[in-house]
Amino acid sequence: MDVKLCSAGHYYDSSEYSECPVCAKKKGVEVEFGSEDMDSAVPPTVGGPSVSFEDGGKMDGYSPTQPGSATMPGDPVTVGKNPEIDVYGETEPVGINSAQLETMPPGSNVSMGGYGSTYGATFSESGVTMPANVNNVAGFSPVTGWLVCVEGPMRGKDYRIKPGYNYIGRAANMQIYIEGDQTISRERHAVIAYDNKGKVFFFGPMEGQSTVYINDALVINKEILKPYDIITIGNTKFVFVPLCGDNFTW
């Protein structure tokens, strides 16, 4: 094997190629790679399966490697298109796809195998504060109960209650977003909360312009909710339906 360096900085085996195969391809010249005796060529530094390309293309150069060892799944892998592979060029990572990333919990560490490279990444949902004292499932806050509108513009609609504080208002950034009732303040009119340690729900006023009630009794401070209590906020009434409590919690 006679390794040479072309003017563009690519290494190639001059005993196998008359000129640099990478440069030849860029010029539109088809150069065949290797011979039947593959012992004379240096294989890619990849542990495990074979790799093919959907468009049937060949890998440029004879040693498309980077420093380090690759981690790849056990089965043969086909990537979408033949990436341009150079001696120290980046390659398309394999072993994980975008659909898998979307379903992974925030904070997951992902190792993605490539030719001679290990791609590590940490995924998190930016700007979202997760509640404490809750064993989250599937990377999101599980439902703990519901408010079901029984009177008002949104009659028949249900609202999920998540662990921790759930602020109620007409603004879309509220945890419980109620449309149509102009007597409800836009932000933090009231709050409903689930205490995971005590396994109880609380409801009380916050910054709303109108009063709030439980079973037609005025609420001044936060009070414990009981199953099927009627909550009144503005001109809207809700039935409280718990999921979590003494018999079940996350």
Query: What pLDDT, on the 0 to 100 scale, is given for residue 166?
Result: 98
Question: Is the pLDDT at 172 greater than 60, yes or no?
Answer: yes
Dihedral sign of CA atoms 15, 116, 23, 56 in order: positive
- Bridge-based pairing of strands 77-79 and 51-53 is parallel
Answer yes or no: is 178 within a domain: yes
Tell me, yes or no, whether 93 and 186 share the same domain: no
Number of domains observed in the structure of the chain: 2
Mean pLDDT of the region 112-128:
46
**pLDDT digits over 194-239, tens only?**
999 999 999 999 999 899 999 999 999 999 999 999 999 999 999 9
CA gap 83, 136 in Å, rounded: 39
Answer yes or no: is 6 within a domain: yes
CA gap 131, 141 in Å, rounded: 8
Tell me, yes or no, whether 22 and 55 share the same domain: yes
Query: Structural domain of residue 26, as residue ranges?
Result: 1-124
Query: What pLDDT, on the 0 to 100 scale, is given for residue 21?
Result: 83
Answer yes or no: is 114 within a domain: yes
Tell me, yes or no, whether 161 and 110 share the same domain: no
Tell me, yes or no, whether 108 and 194 share the same domain: no
**pLDDT digits over 5-58, tens only?**
888 888 778 888 888 888 888 776 554 444 444 444 444 444 444 545 555 554
Query: What pLDDT, on the 0 to 100 scale, is given for residue 25?
Result: 80
Mean pLDDT of the region 111-130:
47
pTM, two decimals, is: 0.48
Here the CATH number for the domain that contains residue 175 is: 2.60.200.20
Tell me, yes or no, whether 10 and 76 share the same domain: yes
